[in-house]
Amino acid sequence: MSARDSIFARIRAARAALPAMDETERAAIEGRIALHPIGTRPAMDWPLVPRFREQCVRMSSTVDDVASMAEVPRAIARFLAATKLPMRAVAWPEIAQLDWNGTGVTVEARAARGDDLVGITGTFLAVAETGTLMLLSSPSTPAATSLLPETHIAVVPQGRIVKAMEEAWALTRSERGELPRAVNFVSGPSRTADIEGQLQLGAHGPYRVHVVVVTE
């Protein structure tokens, strides 16, 4: 008997003490998974976009606004200059193909490496409740771009801000059908309080997260 079989046998034996699982119970379980109802959650009566901004700041991200995608490169160049960061970044192709001419920023669309300092990504969705970016992995949206560099810049179209994680799942199902290899919810820079409970930003992931909201 495999370990799996013996675990199931033990679960069945333990269930013998309870009323047997009948068709209605089985249907209820399968129905729950098929319908995936939303459970109890906090009141969410705030306006989406201001809430998202406020929560980003609470999670120690910085937020900038631009009117259109075309303005993104210039806004990022300004941020890099103001923060005295290198004018060189690794980015998702959708970002690298924007017009970076004249911004002074060199942007490469490739896999991120351990020594990259700035990584720029788009976002699949953003969650207002917690100021969270939702990134889905794919060949053109690699996960490491938001993880290895010390600074992560994310471009968020305002129309892609949803209320909470549950709304994000609904859109993932309708737009993508199935989950990618990795779904990453990112809420601000990496942090730790492992030494004497004192909060430090930048443990293993980025030190800074900068969010550029595109309001068009």
Partner 1 sequence: MQLAGEKPSHIIAPAIHKSRDDVADLFVQHHKTPRKTDIGELTMEARKFLREHFLSGEMGISGGNFLIAETGSLMLVTNEGNGRMTTTLPRVHVAITGIEKVLPTLEDASCILRLLTRSATGQSISNYVTLNTGPKRPGDLDGPEEMHVIIVDAGRTGLLGTDMQEALRCIRCGACMNHCPVYQNIGGHAYGWVYPGPIGSVLTPNYIGLENAIDLPNAATLCNQCGVVCPVKIPLPDLMRKLREKQVDRGLRPWQERLGLKLWAWVAKRPGIYALVTRIAARVGRSVGGADRMIHRLPGNGWTEGRDLPAPAGKTFRELYAERKRS
Residues 48-77 that bind partner 1 (CB under 8 A): 55, 59
- 87-106 footprint of partner 1 as x/- string (CB under 8 A): --------------------
- Antiparallel, parallel or unpaired: β 151-157 and 132-136: unpaired
- Residue 142 one-letter amino acid: P
Stretch touching partner 1 by CB under 8 A, among 8-16, 43-51, 77-85, 98-106: 8-16
Q: Which two tokens stand for residue 96?
A: 């690298």
Pairing assessment for the beta strands 132-136 and 125-127 based on DSSP bridges: antiparallel
Q: Per CB under 8 A, does 197 bind partner 1?
A: yes
Q: Which of 119, 122, 149, 205 is the binder for partner 1 (CB under 8 A)?
A: 205
| CA 189/CA 149 separation, integer angstroms | 11
Give burial (CB, 10 Å; 0-12/13-18/19+) of 92. buried
Binding flag, residue 200, partner 1 (CB under 8 A): yes
Q: Does 190 bind partner 1 (CB under 8 A)?
A: yes
Report whether 171 contacts 138 (CB < 8 A): no
Distance from the Cα of residue 97 to its chain's centroid: 22
Q: Is 10 in the site for partner 1 (CB under 8 A)?
A: yes
**Minimum distance of partner 1 from residue 65's CB (angstroms):** 23
| Site for partner 1, residues 126 to 165, rule: CB under 8 A | 129-130, 132, 137-139, 142-144, 147, 164-165
E strand spans, 102-150:
106-109, 118-121, 125-127, 132-136
Distance from chain centroid for Cα 64 = 18
180 binds partner 1 (CB under 8 A): yes
Single out the residue of 66, 113, 122, 54 nearest to residue 88, CA to CA: 113
Residue 37 binds partner 1 (CB under 8 A):
yes
Residue showing tokens 């109802």:
37
Nearer to partner 1, 157 or 180 (CB): 180
Strand order in the sheet with 125-127: 132-136, 125-127, 161-162
Interface with partner 1 (CB under 8 A), residue from 160, 188, 210, 214: 188
Stretch that binds partner 1, among 43-51, 81-89, 99-107, 199-207 (CB under 8 A): 199-207
The residue ranges that bind partner 1 (CB under 8 A) are 3, 7, 10-11, 14-18, 29, 32-33, 36-42, 55, 59, 110-112, 114, 129-130, 132, 137-139, 142-144, 147, 164-166, 169, 178-198, 200, 202-206
